[in-house]
Amino acid sequence: MTSKAINKYLSRHAEPEAPLAGEMGAAFGHALVVPAYGEADSLFSLLGSVPGGPGGPVVIVVVLNARKDSPPSVHEANAATRERLARTLELSAEISADPSVRSYATAGGSLVLIDRAEAGRFLPEGQGVGLARKIGNDFVLSLFASGKLRSSWIHNTDADVVLPGDYFDQIADAGSAAAALYFFEHRYDQQENVALAARLYDISLRYYVLGLAWAGSPYAYESMGSCLAIATAAYAAVRGFPKKNAAEDFYVLNKLAKVGAISRLSGKPVVLEGRVSDRVPFGTGRAVGDLVASPRRLEHFPLYHPLVFAHLAGWLEVLEAIARSGGALDQPLNVLPQGNPFFRADLLEDALRKLGAFEAIREAASKSRDAETLRRHLHIWFDAFRTRKLIHALRDGGLSSLPWREALAEAPFTSLSASTEDDPEALRQALATEERKLAASPAGLS
């Protein structure tokens, strides 16, 4: 039975295409949402990699999208995608009410094309992948609510991805989590400088998550929309994806971590393209492009100083002490090391003051009746976004980032302190091995 929260979301917050899911005649085991913006062969490589699922046929929802001001190359690629799908797949009679939503038969189920890349249907200026994901996820949620989707998970990925054969089988390990994240690996370009840039970016992602986990943060997970599955009830609870042109995965996971666990799946990895791209202002493609364009930055690629994670750990201990004390601020701060040249209590307190942390603690204490409620309120305020802001404040306040090899060697959470390995790929693999160990313990505030 569909929950009231899902029905409420669909009636008040869903995108206009969502009700058309009720016209689908077939029932499906699993659903996958793919935003496509100026993609070419990579999209069809992804489609060819989508495996069957244990619950029956798979529906793939491709949201072809662009803005009116998108570059001509994007419009040309979208037109080619639209034509190729029509040429290679058989159009179904389903979803006839709106010509911009078409259903095609595939060997494993159906492909639904939601076309937001033509005049009159363009995405609004300033919006992009966040809205595209929301359109696709809302459609799948409506499909679930209509009783035509057996799985209670909405799978998300990107058009430059190859999925593993056990992709849909893995989700059984997520249990009752709010979201699940698939493990990932990058496929590297043959150009040496592009491959190095992608490896360093991969290292930075894993280094950051390992640092957060070591510090005890409940927000220690990869924020990657290409590797994400969301429970339908949790999706409705957080009102879906934000309509942002970038970092929509970061923000939706930040909300999801507050309503349930974030499960880290340990099966075969999703394979991502380590390529140069300017499709969004953030992410792998942009980061790799910026590195390739700056040989000096590539040579001295910076990682956060390991001490910022030590300071974060200290602050999280303070939050725990505050929760146990009922909101008192004086004594818990005494747990911070004083007079330690490697721990800048003054810098941490200054950064927290600028974040408004102490006012937030007082407010949380005023509306909390017990330690567990206060603890939850504190971590809802000090979330993934404010965690990153604190880390940046510590970096800018004196704990400057280090060259990547030095940071990896000094960090207590990489298992590389005694390593003399200089090969970026070997170091990347070592971090990936450490990150896989996190799968045993879900993140989030569950």
**Is the pLDDT reported for residue 64 higher than 80?**
yes
Say what the pTM is.
0.93
pLDDT band at 357 (very low <50, low <70, confident <90, very high): very high
Q: Sheet containing 101-106: give its strands across.
A: 90-91, 101-106, 109-116, 58-65, 30-36, 153-156, 228-231, 179-181, 261-264, 443-444
pLDDT band at 276 (very low <50, low <70, confident <90, very high): low
Report the helix count and the strand count for the chain, using DSSP H and E.
17, 15
Over residues 97-121, mean pLDDT: 93
Residue 256: its H or E element: helix 248-256
Q: Quick one: fold of 4-299?
A: Spore Coat Polysaccharide Biosynthesis Protein SpsA; Chain A (3.90.550)
Q: How far is residue 261 CA from its own chain's centroid?
A: 14
pLDDT (tens digit per residue) in 245-257: 889 999 999 999 9
pLDDT (tens digit per residue) in 364-373: 999 998 999 9
pLDDT for 282 equals 47
Over residues 280-295, mean pLDDT: 58
Domain extents for the chain?
4-299, 305-400
Least trusted range by pLDDT, from 39-53, 198-212, 279-293: 279-293
pLDDT for 416 equals 86
Least trusted range by pLDDT, from 18-27, 266-275, 311-320, 416-425: 416-425
**Is the pLDDT reported for residue 107 higher than 70?**
yes
- In the chain, what percentage of residues exceed pLDDT 70? 92
pLDDT (tens digit per residue) in 187-208: 887 787 888 888 899 999 999 9
pLDDT (tens digit per residue) in 78-88: 999 999 999 99
Nearest CA to 56 out of 152, 149, 136, 141 is that of: 149
pLDDT for 179 equals 98
Least trusted range by pLDDT, from 94-108, 292-306, 335-349: 292-306
**Is the pLDDT reported for residue 419 higher than 80?**
no
